[in-house]
Every structure is written in structure tokens, then in C-alpha cells.
Amino acid sequence: MAVELVDLLRAYARMLNSLSYARLAPVLHSHFQFASQTVFSEIHGKQEFLEYMKPKLEAIAKGGSPVFAEMGSVSAYGKQQPCVILAQDTRENLVAVALGQEREGRLARIDLCIVPPPAQAVRTGEYPA
């Protein structure tokens, strides 16, 4: 059975909405990469990403500034593609979109983007939990 990119992105959204990477970790490629347009350096490797996310998720849980991860699609790099639309504090305060790449049935890369703007994404109302 082929794994769809949208299902892998759904696991990423589930991590943010549940503040637990337990269901994301098994679908990450061992050579996973994470990049953000607002951060200079990329993260290389599944373990490095999980170590990076653990304190981030803990801080969100303690901080009183919730994150919302909604499934959607956006026109980027010349095509319409699935994405996770990220909001903070309220579901209407859109801050970024997460684009992904699949390799060998695993999530191989996430690019956290402010361009294209999240307001241009097509929202579905689906917040995986």
C-alpha cells in the first residue's frame, strides 16, 4: 500500500495538535530534514529533529499560546500541493505553512514557510488529533 504525502503531513499536524511526536516518529525517514524560512540552519536526521521538537512541544504545553495545525493545500513551486497550515493563539492567526516531501514511504522533509503566505492556502477545517 502506497503512503500518501497528505497522510504523512497529517502525522506532523497530529504531533502539533496533540503536543506529542509519538505517532510522527515512526513515519519519519532516517535522513529526515527540517528547514524553516525564518531560521538559518537546517536540521538533519530523524533523531536530531525529535530532540529539537521535544522542548518545543513542552514549551507550547506550558506557555499558554496554543498552536493549531490544519490540513490544507497551497500553490507553491508551480503546483497545488498538500500542506499543514499553522496558526498560533487562535485558529485565525495564521503564521506559516508546512510543505513536505515523501521518500520510501516516509516523511523525508518538512519546509516551514512564510512564503507562500498561509492566508493563500486552501483550508479544510481538519485538525488531526
Please state, rounded to an integer, the average pLDDT across all residues of the chain: 96
Q: How far is CA 92 from CA 50, 58, 79, 99, in A?
A: 28, 23, 25, 19
* C-alpha cell belonging to residue 58: 513542552
The number of beta carbons lying within 10 Å of the beta carbon of residue 67 is: 17
* CB 24 within 8 Å of CB 8: no
Chain segment 68-124, per-residue pLDDT in tens: 999 999 999 899 999 999 999 999 999 999 999 999 999 999 999 999 999 999 999
- Residue among 117, 3, 129 at smallest CA distance from 71: 129
Contact 97, 77 (CB under 8 A): no
Question: Which pLDDT score is estimated for 3?
Answer: 84
